[in-house]
């Protein structure tokens, strides 16, 4: 009896059905897809994210036509019973621990290897066990060698592995936008309208509640759209990707970023086609090496590393809280109430999240994540917030990025020091500070920058731990030179959790 193949909502590209390397579903196997309402009932997702995922699933179902049984059910378990009874089922390894535990608990379900990543988990384990400490840079070189990516024989193309030092430019002075070609944006269709009507109805029935604004859809929902987005990025935007990768401009939220994360994480694009496309652009002389290496590093380095660490670190990683942070997220933050905020950086970025469900990596790390870290908010609640509010957020990608990289809750298993800064960094890397009512160089007083004051307050709170860390101990000792430290600590106690 042919097994039915189950496609999760983030397994939507052709690679999840092609049976390549003999480890996929049977050729022409019937397919089941399940829309579980409980997923949306359990958490308050950004509406644009719910819209994107459902639109992408329904677009895939329309492509598969009669081959697919598309089930709407409360739970996956119930949906599967409805679709296949007790018949045999195959499924590619899901991307979350909860979904993996579920499929493993079901009778008659065979779990096939994961798709959509470059390395197998046992290859990563072999690599990790041969290391003295886990560092992304060594992992990235391993992947480059293993996949012959940007390599000339045994050497890195261009003679160097890492061009990061060329990719930390401040934004060009006097410019409100970077001036690169606009990214691909999809056109909505009848499927999008149907999804929006369903979301309206769920909200009206009081069944489900969302946060954020939705529409028009800004990210690809089908393989065809995702391929167009990739092509446009490679031919019109990749060349400028590198230099300003870490910069922020209030009026140019996208700059030269690729906007491909949601397509990669829905399975609509495979990382191999992205990095090979970038390398081909460099070899054809269409993009400089710093941009191409920077982009390849994001996908073959960071994305892959994060995926592997999610599984490698184990289930307990999710509850890590090395700094003992227990603060709750305030309502204005939970509601994405950008209009209540005066601090221009937080207001600008929160507005981007409210309106699009996306910002690039520096606003995530050095504005949103840094603000939460300085205030001592519970890392599990911060992770949940990022997961719900970002169109590209999934359990596997959020845990290492938020618990590890952004909140340092793992005590340094993923990064060597906490990522946080005073206002001077934001001022250097953006045009956000000049019109802000706060001053980045002021730490005490009515115009004290919340990041500058928050930074010193954070170092003071964790002095005992952080002065042991060679990468940050000098900054910690700077506390001894602050004549106004007591006033600053008093001010931060009084500020409370209202919008900055």
Ligand X SMILES: Cc1cc2nc3c(=O)[nH]c(=O)nc-3n(C[C@H](O)[C@H](O)[C@H](O)COP(=O)(O)OP(=O)(O)OC[C@H]3O[C@@H](n4cnc5c(N)ncnc54)[C@H](O)[C@@H]3O)c2cc1C
- Residues contributing to the site for ligand X (CB under 6 A): 257-261, 264-265, 298-299, 302-303, 306, 360-361, 364-365, 369, 386, 390, 392-393, 397-398, 401-402, 405-406
| C-alpha 80: how far from chain center | 29
Question: From the CB of 259, what's the least distance to ligand SF4, in Å?
Answer: 24
- β partners of residue 112: 92
- Rg of the chain, C-alpha, whole Å: 23
Question: From the CB of 204, what's the least distance to ligand X, in Å?
Answer: 29
Task: Check: CB of residue 314 under 8 Å from CB of residue 190.
Answer: no
Selected binder of ligand SF4 within 449, 472, 476, 488 (CB under 6 A):
449
Residue 440 interacts with ligand SF4 (CB under 6 A): yes or no? yes
Question: From the CB of 303, what's the least distance to ligand X, in Å?
Answer: 3
Question: From the CB of 398, what's the least distance to ligand X, in Å?
Answer: 5
Task: Check: CB of residue 219 under 8 Å from CB of residue 268.
Answer: no
Question: From the CB of 167, what's the least distance to ligand SF4, in Å?
Answer: 22
Q: Which stretch of DSSP H or E encloses residue 152?
A: strand 151-152
Task: Check: CB of residue 336 under 8 Å from CB of residue 350.
Answer: yes
How far is Cα 5 from Cα 15, in angstroms, rounded to an integer?
13
Residue 250 interacts with ligand SF4 (CB under 6 A): yes or no? no
Question: Residues 209, 210, 213, 218: is their CA dihedral positive or negative?
Answer: negative
* Per-residue CA distances from 436 to 29, 251, 362, 446 (Å): 58, 14, 19, 13
Nearer to ligand SF4 (CB atom), residue 147 or residue 375: 375
SS3 297: helix
Residue 432 binds which entry of ligand SF4, ligand X, none, CB below 5-8 Å type-dependent:
ligand SF4
Residue 343 binds which entry of ligand X, ligand SF4, none, CB below 5-8 Å type-dependent:
ligand SF4
Q: Which stretch of DSSP H or E encloses residue 7?
A: strand 4-7
Q: Which stretch of DSSP H or E encloses residue 62?
A: helix 47-64
Neighbours of 51 (CB within 10 A): 26
Selected binder of ligand SF4 within 343, 389, 399, 403 (CB under 6 A):
343
Selected binder of ligand SF4 within 325, 344, 388, 413 (CB under 6 A):
344
Question: From the CB of 364, what's the least distance to ligand X, in Å?
Answer: 4
Residue 436 binds which entry of ligand SF4, ligand X, none, CB below 5-8 Å type-dependent:
ligand SF4
Nearer to ligand X (CB atom), residue 53 or residue 365: 365
Nearer to ligand SF4 (CB atom), residue 33 or residue 349: 349
Residue 390 binds which entry of ligand SF4, ligand X, none, CB below 5-8 Å type-dependent:
ligand X
Residue 264 binds which entry of ligand SF4, ligand X, none, CB below 5-8 Å type-dependent:
ligand X
Question: From the CB of 351, what's the least distance to ligand X, in Å?
Answer: 16
Which residues within the stretch 417-436 sit at the binding site for ligand SF4 (CB under 6 A)? 423, 426-427, 432-433, 436
Among 250, 108, 128, 226, smallest CA distance to 178 is for 250
Nearer to ligand X (CB atom), residue 61 or residue 403: 403
Task: Check: CB of residue 436 under 8 Å from CB of residue 427.
Answer: no
Residue 363 interacts with ligand SF4 (CB under 6 A): yes or no? no
Question: From the CB of 234, what's the least distance to ligand X, in Å?
Answer: 12
Residue 386 binds which entry of ligand SF4, ligand X, none, CB below 5-8 Å type-dependent:
ligand X
Question: From the CB of 263, what's the least distance to ligand X, in Å?
Answer: 8
How far is Cα 5 from Cα 194, in angstroms, rounded to an integer?
26
Task: Check: CB of residue 167 under 8 Å from CB of residue 314.
Answer: no
Task: Check: CB of residue 217 under 8 Å from CB of residue 58.
Answer: no
The count of chain residues that interact with ligand SF4, using the rule CB under 6 A, is 15
Question: From the CB of 169, what's the least distance to ligand SF4, in Å?
Answer: 19
Number of H helices, E strands in the chain: 23, 7
Cα atoms in the 13 Å half-sphere on the side-chain side of 53: 25
Range 363-375 burial, b when 16+ CB lie within 10 A, else e: bbbbbbbbbbbbb
Q: Which spans of this chain sit near ligand SF4 (rule: CB under 6 A)?
A: 343-345, 423, 426-427, 432-433, 436, 438-440, 449-451
């Amino acid at each position: 009896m042919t097994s039915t193949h189950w496609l999760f909502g983030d397994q939507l590209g052709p690679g999840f059905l092609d049976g390549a390397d003999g480890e996929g579903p049977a050729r022409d196997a019937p397919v089941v897809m399940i829309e579980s309402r409980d997923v949306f009932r359990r958490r308050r997702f950004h509406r644009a994210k719910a819209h994107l995922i459902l639109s992408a699933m329904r677009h895939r179902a329309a492509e598969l036509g009669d081959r697919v049984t598309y089930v709407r059910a409360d739970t996956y378990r119930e949906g599967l019973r409805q679709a296949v009874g007790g018949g045999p089922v195959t499924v590619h390894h899901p991307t979350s621990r909860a979904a993996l535990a579920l499929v493993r608990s079901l009778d008659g379900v065979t779990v096939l290897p994961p798709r959509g990543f470059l390395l197998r988990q046992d290859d990563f384990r072999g690599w990790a066990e041969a290391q003295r400490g886990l560092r992304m840079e060594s992992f990235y070189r391993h992947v480059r060698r293993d996949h012959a990516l940007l390599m000339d024989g045994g050497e890195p193309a261009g003679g160097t592995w890492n061009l990061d030092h060329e990719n930390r430019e401040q934004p060009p002075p006097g410019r409100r936008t970077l001036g690169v070609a606009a990214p691909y944006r999809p056109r909505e269709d009848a499927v999008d309208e149907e999804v929006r009507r369903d979301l309206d109805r769920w909200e009206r029935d009081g069944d489900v509640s969302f946060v954020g604004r939705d529409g028009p859809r800004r990210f690809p929902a089908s393989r065809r759209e995702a391929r167009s987005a990739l092509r446009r990025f490679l031919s019109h935007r990749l060349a400028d990707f590198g230099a300003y990768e870490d910069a922020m401009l209030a009026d140019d939220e996208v700059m030269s970023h690729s906007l491909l994360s949601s397509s990669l994480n829905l399975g609509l694009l495979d990382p191999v086609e992205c990095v090979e496309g970038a390398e081909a652009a460099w070899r054809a002389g269409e993009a400089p090496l710093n941009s191409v290496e920077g982009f390849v590093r994001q996908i073959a380095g960071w994305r892959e590393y994060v995926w592997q660490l999610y599984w490698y670190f184990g289930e307990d990683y999710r509850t890590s809280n090395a700094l003992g942070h227990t603060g709750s997220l305030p309502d204005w933050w939970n509601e994405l109430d950008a209009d209540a905020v005066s601090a221009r950086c937080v207001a600008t970025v929160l507005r981007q999240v409210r309106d699009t469900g996306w910002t690039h990596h520096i606003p995530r790390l050095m504005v949103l994540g840094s603000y939460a870290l300085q205030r001592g908010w519970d890392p599990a609640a911060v992770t949940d917030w990022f997961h719900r509010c970002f169109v590209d957020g999934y359990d596997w990608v959020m845990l290492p990025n938020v618990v590890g990289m952004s909140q340092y809750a793992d005590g340094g298993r993923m990064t060597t020091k906490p990522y946080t800064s005073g206002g001077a960094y934001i001022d250097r890397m953006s045009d956000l500070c000049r019109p802000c009512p706060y001053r980045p160089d002021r730490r005490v007083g009515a115009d004290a920058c919340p990041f500058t004051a928050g930074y010193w307050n954070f170092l003071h709170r964790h002095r005992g731990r952080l002065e042991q860390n060679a990468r940050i101990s000098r900054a910690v000792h700077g506390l001894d030179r602050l004549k106004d430290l007591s006033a600053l600590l008093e001010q931060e106690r009084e500020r409370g959790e209202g919008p900055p």
